[in-house]
Structure 1
Amino acid sequence: MSHFVTTSWLADRLDDPAIQIIDASWHMPNSGRDGRNEFLAGHIPGAIFFDIDQVADTSTDLPHMLPDETTFGAMAGALGISSDATLVVYDEHGLFSAARAWWTFTVMGAKAVKILEGGGLKWRAEGRPLEAGETKALPTTFAAKLRPGAVASFADVLAASQARDQILDARPAPRFSGDTPEPRPGLASGHIPTSRNLPFGELIANGRLKSDPELEEIIRSAGIDPEQPIITSCGSGVTAAILALALDTIGAREVALYDGSWAEWGARSDAPVETGPASSSGV
């Protein structure tokens, strides 16, 4: 089953009350871009802005951590997002933070979640309609129920590393190896011991995932067996969701996302760190 819908499919259904469109655009802290301001300037008609930094666990300093079920359900419902609707998420990169929104809504029990192929970039390039300002959506009910095993904690990842279980990191290779400093200050450089590296961009072409055979070949070439449990990680839990999306697409069943990712691991004095390429670690 494809996780994507086309721009033409969505354009034909803009007035369908059973479909809710969600702009989940998010930009790296050092990008100079602001997702909400860009949304206010122009977005797909009827879209609701979903801010991953706001719909989050505010009890931690870690960025955009998944909140508990009750908090998430209340916050999503207040935005007018229903767990019974078909949710179509997109971002203004093509495929970036939309995957994090897909993962969030899916693991929180939404009935159906799709990603707009090509995102806002493709929609705009095709000259399709836009609207500006806030979208007024009535509060509704989002019956959140977190999928068991969907989120990996620091302790889970540490145990997986020590057991040499599969951990897959979506960061660019120079960050994984420790040759390039992290964009967030105060973090160590390197990677979780025994983890493997698969930069998320290798999975994407034209704003969507590559074909299933290509995905499987790329994932296996990274040293990962999709038939065994996998933990995905990245810088702060956003592009780890692209790995989770690709793994789900090819039928991997036991995938957990390390929500704290390197923002947590790289800041902890008790977290072991390796440097160098993935070939020096892993299985």
Structure 2
Amino acid sequence: MSIFISTDALASALGDTRLRIVDATLFLPGTPRDARAEFEAGLIPGAAFLDLDTLADPNDPAPHSLPTDDAMTQRVQALGIDADSRIILYDNSPIRSAARAWWMMRLYGVGASAAILDGGLPKWLAEGRATASGAATPAPGTATARIDRAQVRSKADMLANLASGESQMLDARGAGRFTGTEAEPRPGMASGHIPGSRNLPYSALFAADNSMKSPEELRALYESAGIDLSRPVITTCGSGVTAAILLAGLETLGANDVSIYDGSWAEWGFDPATPKATGAA
């Protein structure tokens, strides 16, 4: 299965017994919206709610840090996911959080395949497609989650990369946060970016209908940000969520050495010992 699935393809697949549709909506801190309440008010038929905001390691101070294998296993089984499930992830969030959930499913080896609904719930609704309300409880699944740490970068990895320059670093935050001219949403966090990083705001990857832009447009965006698609890339953002959008775009273009710094700026920006830069890339 490709990274993205169209609304037409999902509509045609409804009723497939292997299909598991998952709402992965997540909002930034301070956003006056309730992801679960919105899900229950209007969901794609058959969907279950992931509650991505709570799918994290409670012992890690960085928000949205990756959960333990056991916690991930419990969550996906509660969603009714089996080892051979066909998983479709969508969201209704400005930060396109389904990409983070897609990356996590793959990272933990969950299900036979996973894909992101291109355009998410906004496109589905704009096309007048059917929705349901209320939250059904699926039969427990049997999938087992085991993380592949080779796809994740730590703060130590990032510090080592500053010395080696082996991988390019690409930040998905908006230009104001990247340059340091706009304050971070979390109190006490430094502004700026990891030295040597390039910047490509995740929002630039989407068309007006909320779907991902064409491969030609994506390639132009990455190249204009100074990224060489033939070299390794580590994507970063505020807390590891929108970095997954840049990773999905890179892999759409055939890049095969792409990883995410999961702690991202939420970890780096709070640490007074890490080097920080401001201004343009």
Q: How does 1:20-39 map to 2 (within 5 A)?
A: 20-39=20-39
Aligned-partner Cα distance in 2 for 1:148–1:260: 13
Amino acid at match of 1:194: G
User: Structure 2 length as normaliser, TM-score?
Assistant: 0.94
Amino acid at match of 1:217: A
Cα deviation, 1:222-252, whole Å, max 9, x if unaligned, reads: 1111221111000111100001101111111
Aligned-partner Cα distance in 2 for 1:44–1:31: 23
SS at match of 2:89: strand
Aligned-partner Cα distance in 2 for 1:208–1:153: 30
- Does residue 261 (structure 1) correspond to residue 261 (structure 2)? The answer is no
Amino acid at match of 2:59: S
Aligned-partner Cα distance in 1 for 2:247–2:132: 32
Distance apart, 1:95 and its partner CA: 7.1
Cα deviation, 1:23-55, whole Å, max 9, x if unaligned, reads: 001111122112111111111111010112222
- Does residue 239 (structure 1) correspond to residue 228 (structure 2)? The answer is no
Q: How does 1:77-88 map to 2 (within 5 A)?
A: 77-88=77-88
Cα deviation, 1:240-268, whole Å, max 9, x if unaligned, reads: 00011011111111111011111111101
Q: Determine the structure 2 residue equivalent to 1:281.
A: none
Unaligned stretches of 5+ in structure 2? Answer: none
Q: How does 1:56-135 map to 2 (within 5 A)?
A: 56-93=56-93, 96-110=96-110, 111-135=112-136
CA contact (8 A) 1:161 1:167 kept: no
Amino acid at match of 1:245: A
SS at match of 1:264: helix
CA contact (8 A) 1:176 1:190 kept: yes
Q: How does 1:1-283 map to 2 (within 5 A)?
A: 2-93=2-93, 96-110=96-110, 111-164=112-165, 165-205=167-207, 206-278=209-281
Distance apart, 1:195 and its partner CA: 0.8
Distance apart, 1:94 and its partner CA: 7.3
**What number of residue pairs does the alignment pair up?**
278
Aligned-partner Cα distance in 2 for 1:95–1:81: 25
Cα deviation, 1:99-152, whole Å, max 9, x if unaligned, reads: 111111111113211111211111112222222121211111122232342111
Aligned-partner Cα distance in 2 for 1:129–1:92: 15
CA contact (8 A) 1:57 1:68 kept: yes
SS at match of 1:28: coil
CA contact (8 A) 2:27 2:35 kept: yes
SS at match of 2:169: strand
CA contact (8 A) 1:23 1:49 kept: yes
Distance apart, 1:96 and its partner CA: 0.6
SS at match of 1:253: coil
Segment of structure 1 superposing worse, 94-103 or 188-197: 94-103
SS at match of 2:195: coil
Unaligned stretches of 5+ in structure 1? Answer: 279-283
Rate the CA distance shift 1:263–1:95 in 2: closer, same or farther, 3 A. Answer: closer
Segment of structure 1 superposing worse, 33-42 or 212-221: 212-221
Amino acid at match of 2:31: S
Rate the CA distance shift 1:82–1:55 in 2: closer, same or farther, 3 A. Answer: farther
Task: State the identity %.
Answer: 48
Amino acid at match of 1:198: L
Aligned-partner Cα distance in 2 for 1:38–1:231: 33
CA contact (8 A) 1:95 1:207 kept: no
Aligned-partner Cα distance in 1 for 2:240–2:94: 18
Distance apart, 1:81 and its partner CA: 2.2
User: Structure 1 length as normaliser, TM-score?
Assistant: 0.93
